[in-house]
Amino acid sequence: MTASAEATASKTVSVRDIYLPPERKKVAGGGVPHVSAKNFSIYYGEFEAVKKVSADIPSKYVTAIIGPSGCGKSTFLRSINRMNDLIPNSHTTGSLMFDGQDVYSKFTDEVLLRKKIGMVFQKPNPFPKSIFDNIAYGPRLHGIRDRKTLADIVEKSLRKAALWDEVCDRLDKNALGMSGGQQQRLCFARTLAVEPEILLLDEPTSALDPRATAKIEDLIQELRGSYTIMIVTHNMQQASRVSDNTMFFYEGTLVEFAPTAQLFTNPKNSMTEDYITGRFS
Amino acid sequence: MNLGTRKLLDRSFTALGISSIVIMGLMLLVVLVPIVSNGIGAIVFKSTIEHRKMLYHEFNRGDKADLQREIASSDASRKEIYRMLDTFDAELSKMDETRQQEYREKFEQVKNSLRALLGPIPGDEEPALARLKYGQTRWEKAEEKLHELLFEKKWDYSNPDEMAKEYEVSRSASFEGTSLVRLFPYVEKNIDRLLQPEWTFYWGFITDSSVDAHFFGGIWPEIQGTLFLAVGAMLFAFPLGVIGAIYFTEYARDGFLTSLLRSANSTLAGVPSIVFGLFGLTFFINTLKVSESKSVLAGSLTLAIMILPTIIRSSEEAILAVPKTYKEASLGLGSTKWNTIIKVILPAALPGILTGGVLSLGRAAGETAPIIFTAAVSVGSAIGLADVLSSPTPALSWNIYNLASEHEAAAEIRHVQYGMVLALMTIVTLLNMSAIVLRARISKKLKG
């Protein structure tokens, strides 16, 4: 199994092979790779958690990352905005480019990088502050002090996250008083408030009930086309519902990267087929 | 193990646990009840006219007209006593040599007892010490002194094989046949009019300076000194401790040096406080010369060093308890590490940090050993805020020890000792309570 996985991975999956339905191509304006990995590996100490991944993530499309637990999909996602820096003893080899810039170059300002590459986490993690302050946190960090401008940003972000109507009359209430689904959409709004180019979603619905999940999926549909979105998910229906392209990881290697419709209906790799048909998980 | 045995074991353990807690509670009661009841006695007690005279003369407090009326009524009764003394004096000079000598000594004892009870006898020289200017200010002490006037203590050495026994002889018996014999029943009968006892609430015990080494007056210099020392210690230790905790949790890399620092911190937390006292003396006063000799500044610095490890540890734990997701969220929004610490981590850790801080404040307020060498004096008046850099101060913890063991008349001022203990316990309890309240309020605010 592992041997065949490596064999597959050694072939570079090119973004040009996987381009999407032509009508979406027009929306996205071509398909310049937004993030581009080449022989990119991530190590935790000696352990190679992501092995020599090469892939181009197209701009303004939704890319889903699926695979069994511990396959390195979250690690890969978190490496894109260098959240893995928080883990001691982690390091990378190969290259990971964002907008033509080396993410792991020592000249890269990871603070600026994270402003451009926003992230929404598995568990809703609003700050223990008011709803307003949660969303204004990012803009304030980046120097916006004017109350009126902040209020505009808050409203705009909450509208984008489809949360405005629910919370517009209690912006000063503590965010921890909201329901789990609302909290997660607040986290979306908070991330959108700093106007990122890429949204990294790390299993954003795994802690939510089905109704809240549906709302988040609707939200992703709303945002597609405006942002490059990458979503790690355990839920294959979700991947097929929301994504344009899908990456399948297995034991740290990128096994298959293809348009979602193709990957789910006609996987090239037998392991992908085994996984999506539920033969292992 | 079968079910019956298991249940039996569970029950017996429950009983054991409850009984140990009950024993602890009882012991606490044994300690607390006398402290509280006697300590309250320092503030609420039956005061005599001498107390009111003292207040008027030393603190210029009280109603002059009322006091004069009281003094007049008391003096009316006292005059009789002093007349009896004069009569006996005249009688004494007519006696023959041997009887004169025998009575003169006893007469002096009687006069001294009367001085202790009622204050100076007319014709005495004006005493220099305040303690000799007034009679007994507290009714229960006055009753003791009355007993000493009425009965003479003697020791029975008759049996050389046993320890001497104490016994009492009525003084009126020893003056049988003289004119003075009338004095004793007179004083006993008129003691109420002589001293005019009434219940008082003496709030001045907390706010007054002491008069003549705590014979009269209050304990404000000690309370103020304790507050100065504790707050001063916090001014140094709290910022340093929080910064140290931030370094340990956010900046230090796991390595040999960090683990060395950590264990050094834990070791410091366990160093006996007297060692910190000596350290403060040699380092802050002798080496750095922060002040000529003992001062509030040196004491605060010493206390700060002592509580620093505790503050670091509790702040560290509070910071580590902040969910990692907050940090991720903040960094993910493009926040710098420093901003994340200031805006997200510290506010969320604040309840824990403050609790640790206030508990340390309580500890600093109660510590004795570190301030013996660096800040505390036994007797002194309250110092001004400007003097903290150079002046030593009395402080509750040290003066409790001092009054109970080294004061020249420790037995005369038990109420002050208990009052100080109660004051210190109240301060520490209030600080701890405020820590609890503060924590609850901030946590509530954070939870929304």
- In this complex, do A111 and B446 lie within 8 Å of one another by their Cβ atoms? no
User: In sequence order, what are the residues at sequence separation of 6 or more whose Cβ sits closer than 8 angstroms to the Cβ of residue B255?
Assistant: none
Burial class (CB in 10 A: 0-12, 13-18, 19+), A210: exposed
A204 touches chain B (CB under 8 A): no
Banded model confidence at residue A100, pLDDT cuts 50, 70, 90: confident
- In this complex, do A126 and B254 lie within 8 Å of one another by their Cβ atoms? no
Look up the pTM and report it. 0.83
Residue A281: pLDDT above 70? no
The token pair that represents B198 in the structure block: 């009434």
Best CA proximity match to B224, nearest among B391, B435, B61: B391
pLDDT (tens, 9 = 90+) of chain B, 448 residues, equals 889 999 999 999 999 999 999 999 999 999 999 999 999 999 999 999 999 999 999 999 889 999 999 999 999 999 999 999 999 999 888 888 888 888 888 899 999 999 999 999 988 888 988 889 999 999 999 999 999 999 988 888 888 888 888 889 898 888 888 888 889 999 999 999 999 999 999 999 999 998 888 899 999 999 999 999 999 999 999 999 999 999 999 998 888 999 999 999 999 989 999 999 999 999 999 999 998 889 999 999 999 999 999 999 999 999 999 999 999 999 999 899 999 999 999 999 999 999 999 999 999 999 999 999 999 988 888 888 888 888 999 999 999 999 988 888 888 899 999 999 999 999 999 989 998 898 888 888 877 6
Residues of B in contact with A191 (CB under 8 A): 332-333
Banded model confidence at residue A13, pLDDT cuts 50, 70, 90: very low
pLDDT of the residue at A136 = 94
Q: Is B305:B276 a contact under the CB 8 Å cutoff?
A: yes
- The SS3 assignment for B381 reads coil
Q: What is the CATH number of domain A2-99+197-276?
A: 3.40.50.300
User: In sequence order, what are the residues at sequence separation of 6 or more whose Cβ sits closer than 8 angstroms to the Cβ of residue B162?
Assistant: none
CA-CA distance, B380 to B27, in Å (whole number)? Answer: 35
- In this complex, do A111 and B325 lie within 8 Å of one another by their Cβ atoms? no
What is the assigned CATH class of domain B220-447? mainly alpha
Of residues B254, B331, B447, nearest to A88 (C-beta):
B254
If you average pLDDT over every residue of chain A, what do you get?
Answer: 84
**AA letter at B238:** F
Q: Is A28:A50 a contact under the CB 8 Å cutoff?
A: no
- In this complex, do A173 and B333 lie within 8 Å of one another by their Cβ atoms? no
Domain ranges for chain A: 2-99+197-276, 126-195
pLDDT of the residue at B50 = 93
Determine the residue of chain A that is closest to B344 in CA distance: A127
Domain ranges for chain B: 46-202, 220-447
Tokens 């702040």 correspond to what residue? B315
- Determine how many CB atoms are found less than 10 A away from the CB of residue B257: 10
The token pair that represents B167 in the structure block: 């016994």
ipTM of the prediction: 0.83
A111-170 residue pLDDT tens: 889 999 999 999 999 999 999 999 999 999 888 899 999 999 999 999 988 899 999 898
Read off the pLDDT of each residue in A34-42 and give the average, rounded to a whole number. Answer: 89
CA-CA distance, A53 to B8, in Å (whole number)? Answer: 62
